[in-house]
Amino acid sequence: MPVFPTLAAFFRRHKKKLLWTSAVGFSLYLLVNQFVIKRFRNFQNSLKQELLVKEQIRRRFIQTQQDCYLTILALLPVLTQPVLNFLPTEAITSALKRKKNTNKEMSDSLTTENLMAHSSQDIGGSTSDLSVFLSKSKLELWHDLKVKSISRMLALIYSSAGLLLLTRLQLNILARKAYLESAIVMAGGSVPQNSQSSFDYFIEQSYLSLSWWLLNHGWMRVANGLETLVESKFKEITPKTEMTVETFTQMLSEINAGVIADGQLVKNLLFPTEYDSLIETLMNTNPELVNELENKESNLVKLINETNFIIANDFTLHVFSSLVRSGVDTLGDSISVALNPDNVPGRVHKLATFLAQLSVQSSVICDPQNASEDEAGTGNIYINNFNDLDELDEFSASIYSNFE
């Protein structure tokens, strides 16, 4: 966590991170008018007060980031289960396995043992998928397995990174109001009484529930986009193609570069930035608030406006891209540990071996409790590495400090 040298320097430092062209409009709803801010600044001259305020802000900041981490762990099963069902690699593996039993001569050349080792879990509920896959040829099944295994791992990285980023964005916008008010009170200022009405509270909860979009539609848009990119990138790669872990992860990074270059896919993942998507999201979460969108003074409209503004910002895309890179690095490291623990340079493995590893790694990233005891026992290595990224704290801090 960053240590803030002085309160003023903290604000100055992070304000530069984002170019807030229309930030003035956004901050009005905070009830922090120029007058109150000025009073706040005057009181900063008192060193003792400043230290108190600084400590208070630091504690709240850290607490908010921790809340985000716990929120995403709680939502992880809700987020990942549909992705797993949408790209059903287990059903494909089962179909391949059956073909192998009935059609021995064709299967001898393919290294499937590794793959099968991880596919013994039940494929509950997907028997219909299975019959679709059983009607395909073995070659088609390998093609599907290749595209869907890789797309699935990437879709899991993208959607969990996206959910963490969105949660940081939303909770820091909401926490900013509370922390500013308390800082002002500590500095001897006053904030309007009953500034938090129950309707405000309802609006804030409704604003948070807009993550419905990411959980229900956003991930699927990105999964579809990824499937197309994976298909063309891995076109020439057969299950028997051999490559190093570095080559494999390099190919994944190149796919990511394509996604990031088309920023629209990332925006569509994170938030209902289009009007129709927003209406659909509200209809499914708080339909009574659809009319609220007409009211320009509504806190909901201001919150949505600021969120869209932040999501459209290049710095946000940069942070998202760092998260995805961290996910692919974690994947590469985990596969290396499994396949090449002695770090033998240039050691190659068949694509089939990588696909088996992807199956293991996709269960790790979906597991809210896959960290070893010495890593505090919560989360998993993917989410924990996301959460430790410096850029993510800078992102949070830039939202925190955007109040004038």
Ligand X SMILES: *[C@@H]1O[C@H](CO)[C@@H](O)[C@H](O)[C@H]1NC(C)=O
Residues that bind ligand X (CB under 6 A): 25, 296, 301-302, 305, 360, 363-364, 367, 370, 372
Q: Which is nearer to ligand X, 288 or 374 (CB)?
A: 374
Q: Which is nearer to ligand X, 317 or 364 (CB)?
A: 364
CA distance 149 to 357: 10
Nearer to ligand X, 52 or 301 (CB): 301
Show the DSSP H helices in 274-349 as ranges: 275-285, 299-311, 314-339
Half-sphere exposure of 244 (CA within 13 A, CB side): 8
Residue placing its CB nearer to ligand X in the complex, 236 or 294: 294
| CB within 8 Å of 58: residues ≥ 6 apart | 1, 3, 4
CA–CA dist 349, 239 (Å, integer): 10
Query: What is the 3-state composition of the chain as percent helix, strand, coil, each rounded to the nearest 5?
Result: 75, 0, 25
In one letter, which amino acid is 16? K
Distance CA 336, CA 331 (A): 9
What lies within 8 Å, CB to CB, of 263 at 6+ separation is: 317
Nearest distance in Å: CB 136, ligand X: 28
332: buried, middle or exposed (CB in 10 Å: 19+, 13-18, 0-12)?
Answer: middle
Least spacing, CB of residue 286 vs ligand X, in Å: 18
In the 8-state DSSP scheme, what is residue 375?
A: G
Nearest approach, Cβ of 138 to ligand X (angstroms)? 27
> Least distance in Å: CB of 336 to ligand X?
16
Provide the minimum distance between the beta carbon of 177 and ligand X in the complex, in angstroms, as a whole number.
16
User: For residues 27 and 398, which CB has a smaller minimum distance to ligand X in the complex?
Assistant: 27
Q: How far is the CB of 360 from ligand X (least distance, A)?
A: 5
Residue 25 or 188 with smaller CB distance to ligand X: 25
Pairwise CA distance, residues 189 & 211, whole Å: 35
Quick one: 48 or 296, whose CB is closer to ligand X?
296
DSSP letter, residue 123: -
Tell me the closest approach of the beta carbon of residue 375 to ligand X, in angstroms: 9
